[in-house]
Amino acid sequence: MKLVGISGSLVGQKTAEAVHSVLFAARGLDSAIQTELIDLKDYDVEFVRGKPLAFYNEDTIEVVNKILSADFLVIGTPIYQASISGVLKNLFDHLPVDAFKSKVTGIVTTGGTEKHFLVTEYQLKPILSYLKGVVPSSNVFIHNDFFNENSEIIDDDILKRIEKLVEEMFFLQKGLMGKRTYIEN
Ligand SMILES: Cc1cc2nc3c(=O)[nH]c(=O)nc-3n(C[C@H](O)[C@H](O)[C@H](O)COP(=O)(O)O)c2cc1C
């Protein structure tokens, strides 16, 4: 089983660290799992121009194919102007509408104000659902104060919430994969 994490920040390290922590917790729960972090600052994903994927650069094609070949995913976004980041929305615009069919899509969010802790609930969750993703009931919002100067998470409660998220993601994904086998048979 492969879990792919996406970090939707081109600026700092907090979102990538949050996604990394989810992947780390997942490996702790199941040592057989494969994980990969797609940090969007490492890729030159082009703006969507309404053309088929083959018309875009290698990085864009690589990132989209990594996402499509994942069994399940965790999406990390910083809050920008009370919404998700533009690079993340642009990446979603590259995907087919059933990109996340039968895949769990967990959410981790970083932000500078607690007032925006529900932004991903109202803005990211509908996008993931539209792309047919199964969104866990729990998600993790991490205020900047819970990172140290090296962008490491320093709050035990946040780390516990990440573990809970991972447990739910495994539970849901294993159920979905069992159901898929049942349907195929
Ligand atoms: C352009 C911009 C807009 C932002 N807007 C918000 C916002 O509306 N609400 C919020 O809570 N944080 C906002 N922030 C703060 C970031 O969400 C926060 O610092 C986040 O942890 C950055 O993650 P990163 O280190 O992965 O880049 C904004 C940051 C930037 C650069």
Question: CA-CA distances (angstroms) from residue 29 to 23, 32, 162, 164, 167?
Answer: 10, 9, 12, 11, 8
CA 104–ligand 1 middle distance (angstroms)? 25
Model confidence pLDDT, tens digit, residues 50-90: 999 999 999 999 999 999 999 999 999 999 999 999 999 99
pLDDT at 142 over 60: yes
| Residue 92 falls in which region: left (phi positive, over 0), alpha (psi -120 to 50) or beta | alpha
pLDDT band for 117, please (50, 70, 90 cuts): very high
Q: Which of 79, 87, 117, 155 to mutate to test the pocket of ligand 1 (most atoms within 8 A of CB)?
A: 79
Atom of ligand 1 nearest to the CA of 81: 8
Stretch (H or E) spanning 119 = helix 119-130
**Residue with the larger pLDDT of the pair 183 and 23:** 23
State if residue 103 touches ligand 1 by the CB under 6 angstroms criterion. no
The residues spanned by each domain of the chain are 2-184
Q: What is the mean pLDDT of residues 162-179?
A: 95
What percentage of residues in the chain have a pLDDT greater than 70? 97
For the chain, how are helix, strand and coil distributed in percent, rounded to 5? 50, 20, 30
Q: What pLDDT does 184 receive?
A: 53
Nearest-CA residue for ligand 1 atom 4 is: 80
CA 111–ligand 1 middle distance (angstroms)? 5
State if residue 14 touches ligand 1 by the CB under 6 angstroms criterion. yes
State if residue 11 touches ligand 1 by the CB under 6 angstroms criterion. yes
Is the domain defined by 2-184 classed in CATH 3.40.50.360?
Answer: yes
Q: Which residues contact 25 (CB under 8 A, 6 or more apart)?
A: 159, 162, 163, 166
